[in-house]
Amino acid sequence: MVGKQLKTILATDCGSTTTKAILIELTDQGYRLKTRGEAPTTVEAPFEDVTKGVLNAIMEVEELSGLKILDGDTIIHPMRDDNTGVDVYVSTSSAGGGLQMMVAGVVKSMSGESAERAALGAGSIVMDVLASNDGRLPHQKIERIRQLRPDMILLSGGVDGGTVSHVVELAEILAAANPKPRLGQNYKLPVIYAGNIKAQESIKATLGEITDLDMIENIRPVLEIENLGPARDKIHDLFMEHVMAQAPGYKKLMGWTDAPIMPTPGAVGSLIEMVAKKENMSVVGVDIGGATTDIFSVFEGQFNRTVSANLGMSYSICNVLAEATLKNVLRWVPIDIDEGELTNRIGNKMIRPTTVPQSLEELIIEQAIAREALRLSFIQHKSFAVSLKGVQQERTISDAFDQSGSGETLVNMMELDLLVGSGGVLSHAPRREQAMRMMIDAFVPEGITQLAVDSIFMMPQLGVMANIDNDDLAESARKAAVEVFENDCLIRLGTCLAPVGKAKPGSLLLSAEFDLPETGKKTVELFQGDILIIPAPFASIKAILTPSKNMDIGKGKGEVLETEVFGGTVGLILDGRGRPFELSTDKSMRIASLNKWSRATNEYPDTALIGGV
């Protein structure tokens, strides 16, 4: 091993409401989570010092682990000879609203989209995308920039050596708006220029005086190549230098950490990217919070992240209702409920966001809304995670009947290997079956897909551990991140097997034979409209899957697939509801189907008790 072998690692995530600390130790079974602690975040008045919340969370870790970590208000690191303290301390942060950016590009669907991808990948919230062709007049753009007050701006546009006037025009609009940063009145707004290198001098002349301007490599040097790395790195640097340094207590916190503080979603994204690369698999990760839903994906080796800023389970719950419509929320509710009463209940959750569902009916309503929030966020993600637009395609005669253009979505559900969910409504669902059902209903996986949930949402801390740059610490910290992710972070729910194709109700879709570790061979038949559940632990299970003539389970229509699948806490779910999946528009039939599936998957105690059919 290169570098130092770490024995204990302490990591915190300063969220907008809660600061979470985890302690990782090297054991005989490798790196494992020892304990966790949490405390309210203290960025806002009356405390206005993030380190107070950090110390409180660490104190809880100290109490639970018995390890002395603090010496007064100081984290002991590296570990002392008397076995007090930890080897490394790292942190992520999304407190104070996280990193809020505005991006600008000449063409909205090309450099604008690349700039947005870079900003999202770095973990920021993109407040708006300005483009020469976005249909707004210059004074409207200026008004918008002034209103938003972003933390920083990423400006791109033009291929290297191309025309300069368009990107300079954007710079002139920025200069005319003369935006002020959100936090701190006494510093200039950071602007990153990542466009045509030929325009650098003119950009400097336009923005050099009034902003804190950084020049980096072009994000789109030629149309066919997207170069996001330098922009992402620069965003992280500026996040530390400017945004974090302005937030209360962060200067102190930055002095404590052994690696730069990362924006929370940036850390989660890099962890998912690392896992996908290591396992050579396609992964979708989702974090559904109170205000926003983040989706991360890796398909064909390409990482994408989107933030659905107003789709969440508490602060934004009414926006889910507005965007999804009441009809779409109601279609997941297996009971008859008064619509006016339902909207008032959802409204009351928005204005009292910290409440929890006490009755089964309340839980069912929340989980119906979660399905819609996840579904809508995933639609947004699919339309954003696309191949580069504006790229000329080379075609041969064999492509004549398959003319997919540039800008096609990369998300291919049949290719998806692993779907990971996190966030309160998924991680804390009273039954794991509920989490699995919510994800299956919202994401509609096709073929064979493993599902998992993050047990206690520690992906941010593991993400920042995996990103430590210091040569002495990097290898050990990365190993720890991967091992804890595998062993303690992920709760393997099982695998969803969903044949794709249209079939008549009640017709046979799939015959399957599984070689289960404890009970031996099991043969099942899956019919249209049914869901089956087979309890099976998380272990490799040999499977022979024989789809009917018009159905595809991964190898083509009617093709037999011999493969291995993995069970989990829930087991194997065989979903025969069809792909595409449609719910009946007839209310009584829909409620009957929902209750049938609910009973088949052991989802709720007994919906008949509260009026289900």
Partner 1 sequence: MAHSYTPGLKVLHESRVKKERILPLKGEVVVKENDSVNPEDIVARTHLPGSVQMVNVGNILNIDPADVKDVMTVEIGAQIPEGAMIAETKGLFGLFKSNCCTPVDCRLESISSITGQVVLRESPIPVEVDAYVRGKVAKVIPEEGVVIQTYAVFIQGIFGIGGESRGELVVLSANREEELTAEMIKPEHAGKVIVGGSFISLAAYKKALSLNVAGVVVGGFNYFDLEEILGYTLGVAITGSEDLVTSLVLTEGYGEIRMGHRTFDLLKQHHGKFTSINGATQIRAGVIRPEIVIPLDPEDLKGDVHAVAINEGIQPGSLVRVIRAPYFGRIGNVVALPPELQKMESETMVRVAEINIDDKVMVIPRANLEMVETD
Site residues (vs partner 1, CB under 8 A)? 16-17, 43-44, 96-97, 138-139, 142-143, 164-165, 168-169, 172-173, 175-178, 202, 206, 291, 310, 315-316, 318-319, 321-323, 340-341, 343-363, 428, 430-431, 605
Task: Provide the minimum distance between the beta carbon of 247 and partner 1 in the complex, in angstroms, as a whole number.
Answer: 12
Cis check for the bond before 150: say yes or no (omega within 30 of 0): no
Min dist. Cβ of residue 245 to partner 1 (A) = 20
Q: Which is nearer to partner 1, 170 or 474 (CB)?
A: 170
Cβ nearer to partner 1, comparing 324 with 526: 324
Report the C-alpha gap between 177 and 426 in whole angstroms. Answer: 42
Task: Rank residues 124 and 319 by Cβ distance to partner 1 and give the closer one.
Answer: 319
| Shortest spacing between CB 188 and partner 1, in angstroms | 17
- Find the shortest distance in angstroms from Cβ 356 to partner 1: 5
Nearest to partner 1 of 2, 45 (CB atom): 45
Between CA 527 and CA 516 the distance in angstroms is 21
Distance CA(106)–CA(132), nearest Å, equals: 5
Query: Residue 141 CB, nearest distance to partner 1 (Å)?
Result: 9
The H or E element spanning position 36 is: strand 30-40
User: How remote is the C-alpha of 479 from its chain's centroid?
Assistant: 22
Secondary structure element (H or E) that encloses residue 204, with its range:
helix 200-207
Instruction: Work out the angle at residue 152's Cα, subtended by the Cα atoms of residues 146 and 153, and round it to the nearest 5 degrees.
Output: 75
Shorter beta-carbon distance to partner 1: residue 310 or 511: 310
> For strand 212-215 and strand 190-193, is the pairing parallel, antiparallel, or unpaired?
parallel
CB of 430 to partner 1, least distance (A): 4
Closer residue to partner 1 (CB): 411 or 453: 453
Q: How far is the CB of 329 from partner 1 (least distance, A)?
A: 13
Q: Which residues of 200-229 are buried (b: 16+ CB within 10 A; e: fewer)?
A: bebbeebbeeebbbbbbebbbbebeebbbe
Sign of CA dihedral 127, 129, 134, 136: positive
Q: CB of 168: closest distance to partner 1 in angstroms?
A: 5
CB of 322 to partner 1, least distance (A): 4
Nearer to partner 1, 337 or 508 (CB): 337
DSSP letter (8 states) at residue 198: G
- Is residue 334 a contact partner of residue 317, using CB atoms and an 8 Å limit? no
Rounded Cα distance, 572 and 493, in Å: 9
For 345, 366, 517, 569, the CA distances from 363, given in Å and listed in that order, are 12, 5, 34, 21
How far apart are alpha carbons 136 and 153 in whole angstroms? Answer: 18
User: Any idea what DSSP says for residue 240?
Assistant: I
- 508-516 vs 99-105, strand pairing mode: unpaired
Question: Taking a C-beta distance cutoff of 8 angstroms, is the pair 561, 514 a contact?
Answer: no
Whether residue 445 contacts residue 419, with contact meaning beta carbons closer than 8 Å, is answered with: yes
Looking at the Cβ atoms of 181 and 554, the one nearer to partner 1 is: 181
Give a three-class secondary structure readout of 339-368.
HHHHHHHHHHHHHCCCCCCCCHHHHHHHHH
Is the peptide bond preceding residue 605 cis, with omega within 30 degrees of 0?
no
Quote the tokens at residue 132: 């020469």
Q: How many residues does the chain have?
A: 613
- Residues contacting residue 434 through CB under 8 Å, at least 6 positions apart: 367, 603, 604
Nearer to partner 1, 347 or 580 (CB): 347
Residue 450 CB, nearest distance to partner 1 (Å)? 25
Beta carbon nearer to partner 1, 259 or 346: 346
**Measured from the CB atom, is 8 or 319 closer to partner 1?**
319
CB of 369 to partner 1, least distance (A): 13
Identify the DSSP state of 112.
Answer: I
Minimum CB separation from partner 1 for residue 540, in Å?
A: 31
Calpha distance 504→509 (Å, rounded): 9
H or E element at residue 303: strand 302-308
Least CB distance from residue 219 to partner 1, whole Å?
21
Report the residue number, 449 or 607, with the smaller CB distance to partner 1: 607
